[in-house]
Structure 1
């Protein structure tokens, strides 16, 4: 497995149309599990606006990221998710600097 700092990542923000937040979160979470390309991810729901999803996704490798992005699942998920969005997705490419386990003991 690659060193954490060598793994590509995304920080993604999506805003659902009013009343579509639960469906957007379900689709995004399902997609993370289906793809198998992520080493880890965290989905966050804003307290002030529960229709806003933040996703931090760390891919297993550059190859896993490319395979997902160029595979049919990405297109399928994108088509499903788009109908629930209120605005354009914000996506930032990044690499992790550090991460700690939930229980370092």
Structure 2
């Protein structure tokens, strides 16, 4: 992370990516994409994580957040980036999923933080989950408010790093990344019946069942 950059702030622009590597090319994809984050581009992402699907090890999930809208635009319109991006495409089994997003809330956007002091953040192999939810028509604001509030429910096993993002193209679509202290906390959180009531309230706001993939971090701006 760059020094003095405000991290994971409300309305910070970014992108969510999912890439399926060709069979046996997953490790190469993770190595290449990690290296590309250290290419010296001053407009590159200031907060990012590359995550591997637990169920599909050749599937990469990523979030990248940029300093501001201008940096985001310059980065993606910079022809010097094309060579690296083309090398990534050569490793993929199909076209990547991409959603341009902006942050609605995160563990850094409230005075009441879910982070524990001195907690390791976005570290290699940290367990987590990626979520995509489609709200019912005109229920997007309710969905974001509810899911934000649920991150402050006092669960000691809840996520220590999390971010909820709104799709720029589909404002009723929520993308979320949540990362937990360790595998044991992750398991306890999702098997805790006290969480079911809140999760059911979320499902009641959705147009269909959410996409969920359990993941772990391979690389990030903190690792």
TM normalised by structure 2 equals: 0.42
How many pairs align?
Answer: 101
Displacement, 1:7?
Answer: 1.8
1:22-45 C-alpha deviation (Å, 9 max, x unpaired): 111111111122234212011110
2:148 maps to which of 29, 49, 59: 29
Q: Larger relative contact order (C-alpha < 8 A, sep ≥ 6)?
A: 1
Match of 2:207 in 1: 86
2:183 maps to which of 62, 85, 99: 62
- What does residue range 37-56 of structure 1 map to in structure 2 within 5 Å? 37-56=158-177
SS in 2 for 1:66: helix
User: Greater share of helix residues, 1 or 2?
Assistant: 1
Match of 2:136 in 1: 17
Structure 1 CA distance, aligned partners of 2:140 and 2:169? 13
SS in 1 for 2:219: coil
1:7-27 C-alpha deviation (Å, 9 max, x unpaired): 211010000000110111111
Once superposed, what is the RMSD of the aligned Cα atoms? Answer: 1.8
Structure 2, unaligned runs of 5 or more:
1-118
Displacement, 1:51?
Answer: 0.3
Structure 2 CA distance, aligned partners of 1:8 and 1:82? 23
Alignment of 1:75 onto 2:196: yes
Moved over 2 A (4+): 98-101
Match of 1:6 in 2: 125
Structure 2 CA distance, aligned partners of 1:74 and 1:21? 21
Contact kept? 2:125, 2:218, Cα under 8 Å: no
TM normalised by structure 1 equals: 0.85
